[in-house]
Amino acid sequence: MRPFAPHHVQKTVAVFGAAGHTGRFVVHELLRHGITPIAVARDLATLAAAGFPEHTVLLRQASVQDLPSLLKGFEGAAAVINCAGPFLETADAVANAALRSGMHYLDVTAEQPSAREILDKYDKDARTAGISVVPSMSFYGGFVDLLATEAMGDWNHADTIDVMIGLDSWHPTRGTRLTGEKNISERLVVSSGRPVPISSPRQQRNWQFAPPLGQQPMVEVPFAEMVLFPRHVQVSELHTWLNRLALDDLHDSSTPPPRSADDSGRSPQRFLVEVVIARKAEVRRIVAQGRDIYAFSATLVCKAVERLLNGNISGAGAQPPGVVFNARELLSALSPEYLTFESSVGNRSPDQWTSRKSL
């Protein structure tokens, strides 16, 4: 991958939505990476209550309804990480302010419409300005895009790609619940090489994960990867599946928010993601395991912004993570502390799938 000359050299990054669950992780991860955070939120009192280290984290107030406040809030940064969902309500304003200020933009959305809007609207301006715009640099979206990019290897097209996501639990944050309430847009999948509405009723399959998850009933639940991956790889069928156990937790209003399991602040939640790519008789797959999807998203986006600041990217524009970054290098940078992963190649088996039915 050809290094791209960095637009900025300073190591300061603004975090919009810094008072939220993921935003707090992002601020602390930036500090661990030697990057100065500017914590930005709608309410200074909430930021103060977050308990960020004094004299090392700047606190600023800004609102998506007030462009001047965003411009002032981001002043002095080289990049902006947007952690404030629902992203359909924040991404456009924050990305616009970042581009006006000549700063890289990243967010952690899982929302298809938001990722699509940012990629479509800001690619030309970002290329002209020589900066990068990278939506969905998160567990649901960019992570899958990177995994699939790595698993593809030298292939430039695939017949089918199935993404199997298994969680041993899902304790949603307030932001996740709020996004779920407001994101009523029709979800899309890729079928016959084009984006189409997800089938109704939803499809279900069983999948055999490695222990401790084992066999899990899976429900088709597409995220932002449906917007990202087809922009740089030709695929006839792309489907994402989430285990019912995680969905039951999410849909249960009594499920509490994430709780810290140790001094890192990360929850005990474990995830396992398997991407299975088939072309004719050959199957390529990658299996990844880690802990706490929210903390992992924070680490992932901080690793990404570090590479943007260092110029270790493919070029400017609004592009998916699998285009901007070297997938193998970035995934390897997360291992083994945050992630383990392995790839394999084999032949398609007629009994690869267990039962399939509609819900």
Q: What is the pLDDT of residue 162?
A: 98
- State whether 111 and 194 are in the same domain: no
134 and 276 in one domain? Answer: no
pLDDT for res 180: 80
> In which residue are the tokens 């055999």 written?
208
Domain presence at residue 31: yes
| Host domain of residue 254 | 139-293+330-358
Is the domain of 194 the same as that of 117? Answer: no
C-alpha span between 311 and 131 (Å, rounded)? 10
pTM to 2 decimal places: 0.93
HSE (side-chain half, CA atoms, 13 Å) at 182 = 15
Point out which residues pair with 58 in neighbouring strands. 38
Q: What is the 3-state secondary structure (H, E, C) of the chain?
A: CCCCCCCCCCCEEEEECCCCHHHHHHHHHHHHCCCEEEEEECCHHHHHHCCCCCCCCEEEECECCEHHHHHHHCCCCCEEEECCCCHHHHHHHHHHHHHHCCCEEEECCCCHHHHHHHHHHHHHHHHHHCCEEECCCCHHHHHHHHHHHHHHCCCCEEEEEEEEEEECCCCCCHHHHHHHHHCCCCCEEEECCEEEECCCCCEEEEEECCCCCCEEEEEECCCCHHHHHHHCCEEEEEEEEEEHHHHHHHHCCCCCCCCCCCCCCCCCCEEEEEEEEEECCEEEEEEEEEECHHHHHHHHHHHHHHHHHHCCCCCCEECCHHHHCCHHHHHHHCCCCCEEEEEEEEECCCCCCCCEEEC
123 and 91 within one domain = yes
Q: Is residue 1 in some structural domain?
A: no
Considering the domain architecture, whether residues 113 and 162 belong to the same structural domain is answered as no
236 and 341: one domain?
yes
Tell me, yes or no, whether 233 and 268 share the same domain: yes
CATH at residue 310: 3.40.50.720
User: What does the pLDDT look like over 50-59, one tens digit per residue?
Assistant: 999 988 999 9
The pLDDT assigned to 269 comes to 98
Instruction: Tell me what pLDDT residue 10 has.
Output: 63
Q: How buried is 125 (Cβ within 10 angstroms: 0-12 exposed, 13-18 middle, 19+ buried)? A: middle
Co-location of 29 and 105 in the same domain: yes
Is the residue at 177 inside a domain? yes
pLDDT at 356: 37
Q: What pLDDT, in 10s, does the model give residues 278-327?
A: 999 999 999 999 999 999 999 999 999 999 999 978 889 999 999 999 99
Q: Does residue 278 sit within a domain?
A: yes
Residue 219's CATH number:
3.30.360
Instruction: Look at residue 163 and tell me if it is in a domain.
Output: yes
Q: What are the Cα distances from residue 311, in Å, to 127, 305, 331?
A: 14, 10, 17
Task: Let me know whether 277 and 209 are in one domain.
Answer: yes
Number of domains in the chain: 2
Q: Are residues 315 and 237 part of one domain?
A: no
- Domain annotation covers residue 3: no
Q: Does residue 30 share a domain with residue 159? A: no
Q: Which residues of the chain have pLDDT under 50?
A: 1-9, 350-359
Do 37 and 18 meet the contact criterion of CB atoms below 8 Å apart? yes
In a domain, 216, yes or no: yes
Shared-domain flag, residues 102 and 156: no
Residues in the chain: 359
**Residue 179 maps to a domain:** yes
